[in-house]
Chain A
């Protein structure tokens, strides 16, 4: 439970952080709250030679409006995301998913960007980011670039971030007035999601006008349930139509097998939980 030795720097600007990361070479790791990294260090599954702590970079914290987008600094804590009025108004799905992350202690330390960049397929913020068509703003020595969520997550714990790049912001298209729910299924309160469903819906009268649905832990990366979305649009918001649409939830998924669930059970859960997520969103 004692990590291997490493050097530690805590820059106060993004520029300094990027430079420190570039200078440190491939054996560096970025610390963005540490709720995933520290356990890995302590059991020595990772032994980076340098840790660059973003905790003191003030410009990476906070939420602001930019036209039809919200911009969330990557070091904004889960606690702050849960309580941010802009997120509540324009991206309620993120707040609902963040409510389910771990426990209050973790939510005070863990960060939105840290979770996204960690890219744990069982992490709860990936699917909402995908469902909302978020864009990842990335900074490196060569400047800034933006990657769509759909292209950002590449594999288990793997993103399109280069070793010398930092996720600085997440741009969220406003989904003002959309219903939202995150339906999480796990075995104990503090466990990772076995399967979870992020759903957000815009209604027009009694009709579903638009729907965004994405699944947690149904593949090596978050999965967009396009079949469900298409089946919902234009339908009346009835239990019947929701159930029919949810039948498409497991299409295109490729879940892992572990002691908690085999493929068949995970796909079954995806269908059941999708129906529940949409119903709960409509009710909420």
Chain B
């Protein structure tokens, strides 16, 4: 046994999972095949809201290779099965039943109406065209304010309202701060703004897929999911199946971004049909289906009022949100905007705060978690607001932030929304970022360009953000009526040859857990990095877990791994003392060895593992195993923060925005692997910038998603993005033994307002104080031309929409 000298934690190791992920030579759900496997294809509604008059499946059943065609009534004759929502945010929240396939009515374009089972995927797809559905149109409910209008038609007639729930936090009532109406009434300056968070599609790389095998002892489901453990329990509850008869496997999963936190009707459908036919079944969606049927993200109207003194001291913040749930409630959909409630006050000391969110049903694809989930929306709004307040006061926007943020010596700090931030150093991150950015020189250039009326104007955008990560302390989730806890599980298996298997309840889908967990375990147990294997995503091996989302894996799951290794070491200590005939107290463990203090006598943990395996000579009463497990429930969230600075050039003749430089200094606490952190930052920045400039899910007035392909839903590539300057400060979290905070969502949360602030800053001299996202060239150009009259505000002409593949003109050579 060689002890590792250099610590693994902090080392920029290449990811051990990357070779198989990048080459694709691995096991995804869709490339799994089983004897007798049959294939499903789902017919989806082309209309947004209609009564289903009839569904004729007879011709489809006669198509080659077709084994069966099912409707919702076939699969669930009593109409009792509903997809679960695990987050009833208020006692009176309205929850429509979301069936496996539409029954009676369709409520959004893309909802499943019937399913074909065939011998091949192609035959299943061919038969879809032969199903004849007769619809009787119902009025389509689109747009948050339209849906809440007094005479609005209803998405769900039986609910009697389109209002899903109203959730309120008030610092005056909570005792965490003052009365916001008083603060506004007393304010020297009040700024009001309305922002729109456009709807986004979580464009994960691997479309969703599910295989169910009913032929083994357990009903086995493979799914491209982020949440195999939750899916197992929820499948049992949804269908009344015994939980111990279900096994769920998330094999390698190609991304999720929150879009795979779900219990899908298609997964439940696969369970039902596999059992019905006694054959293994597979469902794999096309990208076109992902776009309309997988849950979307964001989609809010945000009304903010900020109160301040003339000197820039913020005295109150009032937030009124409308949040579009779509036609049904996703697994955690209603809670997504509520997560934002704790983040509008951000890094600032705001003495009075009021938050009210109304969740609304419309005839659109449901919304749920998408990278950041509630926190990007909040961060965008407050960071935009700080720039607007600075402009109103004639202050430098960074100076305004400094005046209001929590100083590094004020931690731990309990905010107006009742969270206690354990640590942070906003000054340090900001100072580093300002130096890297060359803030003063850029301001100078901005002045010069303005003075000479340059056709290309320069703008500087700031985002000094924080986020709550490490979801989550179970008691907090309980207080928010969330349907589960927030702990995580880990186990260590010490193999006879000294190798180590780590079992984690986190479920990686691209994050690099195998590498990071191996580094942690290598340090904890003093074994080589290469000797550690990480097992995850199969409820048979990893029997307990709460999966991966909300930047929780390292800050919760990683700590569970640490706790499990500590138990291994304690067990091994007893055996080591016995082997070396000394007292346990005389032993110190370091570098994988127990050494008798003050001597050179030592025993390696691998030798102990072998001795325990043989079990020939163990101390009295000691079980022959070093294997250990731990469940860690965090006592607090973690609070990464950072300062992001963006310089944009705006071509005033065309409205085109070019990001000239982007600097971010993030503080994600202790870093296990800097390459993984860097990768998360780059990907996160790309996604956040994409919300600012490119992406938008657009519905036409009939409720058809017009941005239904990647020709219309614009994702940036590397060619569209600047070379990022990323750096870090490291203020450890004080609430976990590794000092880690989480990095999965930071870039996405921080970057959107930095970009929009920069663009608005570039054109503010034309009277512009907002431009609706995404900031398409046309919107920017129109804003410049018309100034504040037409800038911003919901309901403007949507972006996207260029379809070079036109159904009316299919001619192609």
Q: Which residues of A contact B (CB under 8 A)?
A: 1-2, 4-5, 29-32, 36-37, 39-40, 43, 45-46, 113-114, 117-120, 122-123, 155-158, 161, 167, 185, 187-192, 194, 258-262, 265, 268-269, 272-273
Contact = CB atoms under 8 A, between A and B. Distances in A.
A109 to B, nearest CB: 14
A28 to B, nearest CB: 11
Contacts of B287: 1
Interface string B770-813: 00000011100110000000000000011111111111111111
A244 B716 CA distance: 35
**What are the 10 A-B residue pairs with the smallest beta carbon separation, nearest first?**
A259-B801, A117-B813, A157-B809, A189-B719, A1-B286, A258-B801, A37-B812, A46-B810, A157-B811, A156-B809
A194 B807 contact: no
B813 A167 contact: yes
B743 to A, nearest CB: 26
B811 A269 contact: no
A29 B813 contact: yes
Most buried by B among A29, A40, A113: A40
Contacts of B807: 45
Interface stretch (B253-261, B367-375, B706-714): B706-714
Interface in B714-736: 714-717, 719-720
B782 A43 contact: no
Interface of B: 121-122, 125-126, 286-288, 653-654, 656, 694, 698, 706-707, 709, 711-712, 714-717, 719-720, 776-778, 781-782, 797-813
A2 to B, nearest CB: 5
A43 B809 contact: no
A65 to B, nearest CB: 26
Contacts of B776: 187, 259-260
B715 A188 contact: yes
Given A40-B812, A46-B810, A158-B809, A265 B781 contact: yes
Contacts, number: 119
Contacts of A117: 813
Given A5-B122, A46-B812, A39 B781 contact: no
A2 B39 CA distance: 13
A246 to B, nearest CB: 11
Given A188-B716, A194-B777, A273-B654, 8 more contacts: A1-B287, A4-B126, A114-B813, A156-B806, A157-B810, A167-B813, A187-B776, A261-B778
B373 to A, nearest CB: 25
B806 A260 contact: no
B709 A36 contact: no
Contacts of B717: 188-190
Tell me what chain A mostly uses at the interface: helix, strand, loop, or mixed. loop
A136 to B, nearest CB: 12
A64 B202 CA distance: 48
Given A259-B706, A268-B781, A30 B813 contact: yes
Nearest to B696: A259
Contact of A265 (B125, B711, B778, B798): B778
Contacts of A29: 812-813
Contacts of B714: 187-188, 191
A26 to B, nearest CB: 11
Nearest to A1: B286
A43 B126 CA distance: 12
B810 A260 contact: no
A124 to B, nearest CB: 11
A191 B807 CA distance: 18
B287 to A, nearest CB: 7
Contact of B797 (A31, A119, A259): A259
A259 B813 contact: no
Contacts of B653: 272
B126 A40 contact: no
Nearest to A115: B813
Contacts of A113: 813
Contacts of B288: 1, 43
Contact of A187 (B694, B706, B803): B694
B804 A192 contact: yes
A114 B720 CA distance: 27
A1 to B, nearest CB: 4
Contacts of B125: 2
9 contacts: A30-B813, A43-B709, A114-B813, A118-B811, A122-B802, A156-B808, A157-B810, A191-B802, A260-B778
B813 A37 contact: yes
B720 A189 contact: yes
Given A120-B804, A188-B714, A192-B711, A259 B811 contact: no
Nearest to A46: B810
A260 B714 CA distance: 11
Contacts of B808: 156
A259 B810 CA distance: 21
B810 A185 contact: no
Nearest to A42: B286
Contact of A40 (B777, B778, B810): B810
A230 B461 CA distance: 45
Contact of A260 (B121, B716, B802, B809): B802
A99 to B, nearest CB: 13
Nearest to A268: B781
Given A5-B126, A157-B806, A259 B798 contact: yes
Given A32-B813, A192-B802, A259 B698 contact: yes
Given A5-B126, A167-B813, A262 B778 contact: yes
A268 B655 CA distance: 11
Contacts of B707: 259
A63 B717 CA distance: 33
Given A1-B287, A37-B813, A188 B694 contact: yes
Contacts of B803: 258
Contact of A45 (B715, B800, B802, B805): B805
Contacts of A161: 813
B746 to A, nearest CB: 24
A167 B656 CA distance: 37
A192 B714 CA distance: 11
B715 to A, nearest CB: 7
Most buried by A among B125, B712, B804: B804
B135 to A, nearest CB: 20
A269 B126 contact: no
Contacts of B122: 2, 5
A158 B811 CA distance: 7
A272 B805 CA distance: 27
A194 B804 CA distance: 11
A259 B812 CA distance: 24
A258 B777 CA distance: 13
Contacts of A265: 778, 781-782
Most buried by A among B656, B719, B808, B809: B809
Nearest to B655: A265
A259 B800 contact: yes
Contacts of B778: 260-262, 265
Contacts of B720: 188-189
B797 A262 contact: yes
B785 to A, nearest CB: 9
Most buried by A among B121, B782, B800, B812: B812
A155 B811 CA distance: 11
Given A1-B287, A5-B122, A258-B802, A269 B654 contact: yes
